[in-house]
Amino acid sequence: MSTAVLEAPADTAELLFESGLPGFPDAHRFTLIRWGDEDSPFSIMRSLDHEALEFVVVPPMVFFPDYEPEIDDATAERLDLERGEDAIVLAMVTLGEQAVDATVNLLGPIVVNRHTNRAAQAVLASSGYDVRTPLVGG
């Protein structure tokens, strides 16, 4: 299933990762909080299960307009995604010392069902996308 949705879930939306996140199997519930001014595409995805666990996320199409992840059938079924339009895609950002050092994980996007807020981190194994794609100059 191909997705191309630009928007992020609403601020304070609670996302449910039924299987947790890779590396954080006990982290199931997250909230999104806008990071920056009202025009900023960035959000903080903060765990409601683990106080200090949070990630910077961004809709990757803002920086990579040609990004078209193919979500595997198992992930689509697990999230009850019937059409690509049902999905919101976010990418985790790794910040560097300077803005130019920031990278984004295009290989493992966060996929959210826009209707239920159920979420999972997909792995686009044979996509050619990278886990550390430079954000600036993308």
CATH at 48: 2.30.290.10
Q: Which pLDDT band, with edges at 50, 70 and 90, does 125 fall under? A: confident
Predicted confidence (pLDDT) per residue in 47-64, tens digit: 999 989 999 999 999 999
Establish if 3 belongs to a structural domain.
no
Predicted confidence (pLDDT) per residue in 109-118, tens digit: 999 999 999 9
Establish if 24 belongs to a structural domain.
yes
Domain count, the chain: 1
Establish if 56 belongs to a structural domain.
yes
User: d(Cα 64, Cα 69) in Å, to the nearest integer?
Assistant: 11
Establish if 4 belongs to a structural domain.
no
Question: Which domain covers residue 118, as residue numbers?
Answer: 14-134
Establish if 8 belongs to a structural domain.
no
106, 67 contact by CB (below 8 A): yes
What pTM, to 2 d.p., does this model score? 0.87
